[in-house]
């Protein structure tokens, strides 16, 4: 199979030895949307040994603009993204072991899977899951690569346990993007740029070229021709509960995860977010209207509608998702609207 990877082997930083290392590695891909499908395709074409990819959603028409593994046929069949990705990836490289999981990346699932993974790649637009990934990464000493994009903006950072600051540390320094493509739109080149940063870092990690791993936090805006690279070594915080001197891994605690409950006798799911704190309903109302949602409200709550989706949001972050008893779907609506 050397002919297949010959151009990659000719690259001296990988070579034959590096190609063999890549073939022995297992990557955990969290999300099979825009970033997940792009990252997965490049890694499978590169000859990764095993790829586990998890996603809870199915393919919709709006995905085809930027999610490169999927087709109109997948939309017509309403295929789960993980299943559609597996089908396509096996056609690209039948030597790679693909483990497709249709479901949510919970703390329990991630802890189990991370024990056998060499690298975790963030391809979700769910910040709660990112924080769980971060704690799992630190607890089991598995490197992970953060990535996010919205509009024409994107960012990426490689997190190496014991060496770099973790995501929890970064939150003390950088106001990370909270919007999603459902609320802020997105152009495909921004997705591809983040994928390029993530997969380049992934290859460095998989071949063990640790000196080449980028130590800076990268962000860019392709539309406004802006590119920033910030050194983050001083962001590492000794008191961090995820990676500091006395870690407790707070985001693996069930008390710090979002709670979902079906209300008795109603097609309504209540969602109670992790942690405490009040939302600014006035600011949020303006943002949601600008994103196309129909918003009504009073000093105590907002009623948010778009198509068939309706959510009532309270100041403490608690929400009622109407028209469903499906906890996973309700949580997806909540996260899509709030980012």
Predicted local confidence at residue 175, as pLDDT = 64
Q: Any idea where the domains of the chain sit in the sequence? A: 6-252, 258-338
Identify whether the C-beta of residue 217 lies closer than 8 Å to the C-beta of residue 230: yes
Fold of 6-252: Rossmann fold (3.40.50)
- The pLDDT score that the predictor gives to residue 230 is 93
In CATH, the number for domain 258-338 is: 3.30.310
- Distance between CA 190 and CA 185 in Å, rounded? 11
Catalytic residue among 149, 166, 169, 181: 181
Indicate whether 154 pLDDT > 70.
yes
| Angle subtended at Cα 158 by Cα 8 and Cα 276, rounded to the nearest 5 degrees | 150
Model confidence band, residue 177 (pLDDT cutoffs 50, 70, 90): low
Cα–Cα distances (Å) from 239 to 162, 211, 248, in that order, read 14, 26, 11
Residue-level pLDDT at 326: 85
- Concatenate the DSSP letters of all residues of 185-243 into one string: -B-HHHHHHHHHHHHHHHHHHHHT-GGGS--EEEEEETTTTEEEEEE-GGG--TT-TTT
Read off the pLDDT of residues 39-65 as tens digits, 9 standing for 90 and up: 999 999 999 999 999 997 888 898 999
Helix ranges restricted to H, 47-126: 72-76, 81-92, 107-114
Among this protein's residues, is 181 annotated catalytic?
yes
CB-based contacts of 14-18 (< 8 A; 24+ apart in sequence): 14/203, 14/207, 17/207, 18/206, 18/207, 18/208, 18/209
58 vs 131: CA distance, rounded Å: 24
Q: Is the pLDDT of residue 6 over 70?
A: yes
Phi then psi for residue 230, to 5 deg, are -115, 125
For residues 178-188, average pLDDT = 73
What percent of the chain stands above pLDDT 70? Answer: 93
What's the burial of 200, exposed, middle or buried (CB within 10 Å: 0-12/13-18/19+)? middle
With cut-offs at 50, 70 and 90, classify the pLDDT of residue 191: very high
Helix (H, G, I), strand (E, B) or coil at 73: helix
pLDDT number for residue 328: 82
Give residue 159's pLDDT. 98
Span of 28-37, 94-103, 271-280, 310-319 with lowest mean pLDDT = 271-280
Mean pLDDT within 149-160: 95
3-state helix, strand, coil in the chain (%, to 5): 40, 25, 35
Q: In 172-186, which positions are buried (b, 16+ CB within 10 angstroms) versus exposed (e)?
A: eebebbebbbbbbeb
């Amino acid at each position: 199979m050397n002919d297949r990877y010959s151009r990659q082997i000719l690259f001296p930083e990988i070579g034959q030895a590096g190609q063999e290392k890549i073939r022995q590695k297992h990557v955990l891909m969290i999300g099979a949307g825009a970033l997940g499908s792009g990252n997965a395709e490049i890694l499978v074409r590169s000859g990764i040994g095993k790829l586990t990819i998890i996603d809870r959603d199915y393919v919709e028409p709006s995905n085809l603009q930027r999610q490169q593994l999927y087709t109109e046929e997948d939309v017509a069949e309403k295929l789960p993204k993980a299943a559609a990705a597996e089908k396509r990836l096996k056609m690209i490289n039948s030597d790679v072991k693909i483990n497709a999981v249709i479901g949510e990346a919970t703390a329990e699932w991630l802890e189990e899977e991370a024990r056998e993974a060499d690298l975790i790649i963030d391809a979700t637009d769910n910040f709660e899951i990112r924080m769980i990934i971060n704690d799992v990464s630190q607890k089991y000493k598995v490197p992970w690569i953060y990535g996010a994009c919205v509009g024409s903006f994107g960012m990426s950072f490689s997190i190496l346990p014991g060496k770099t600051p973790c995501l929890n540390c970064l939150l003390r320094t950088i106001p990370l993007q909270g919007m999603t493509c459902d609320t802020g739109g997105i152009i495909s080149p921004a997705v591809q740029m983040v994928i390029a940063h993530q997969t380049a870092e992934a290859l460095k990690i998989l071949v063990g070229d640790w000196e080449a791993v980028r130590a800076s936090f990268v962000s860019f805006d392709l539309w406004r021709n802006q590119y920033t690279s910030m050194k983050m070594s001083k962001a590492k915080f000794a008191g961090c509960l995820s990676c500091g001197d006395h870690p407790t891994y707070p985001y693996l605690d069930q008390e710090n995860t979002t709670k979902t409950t079906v209300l008795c006798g109603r097609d309504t799911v209540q969602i109670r977010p992790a942690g405490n704190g009040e939302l600014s309903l006035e600011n949020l109302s303006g943002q949601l209207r600008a994103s196309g949602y129909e918003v009504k409200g009073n000093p105590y709550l907002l009623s948010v509608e778009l198509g068939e989706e309706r959510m009532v949001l309270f100041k403490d972050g608690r929400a009622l998702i109407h028209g469903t008893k499906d906890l996973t779907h309700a949580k997806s609506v909540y996260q899509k609207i709030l980012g």
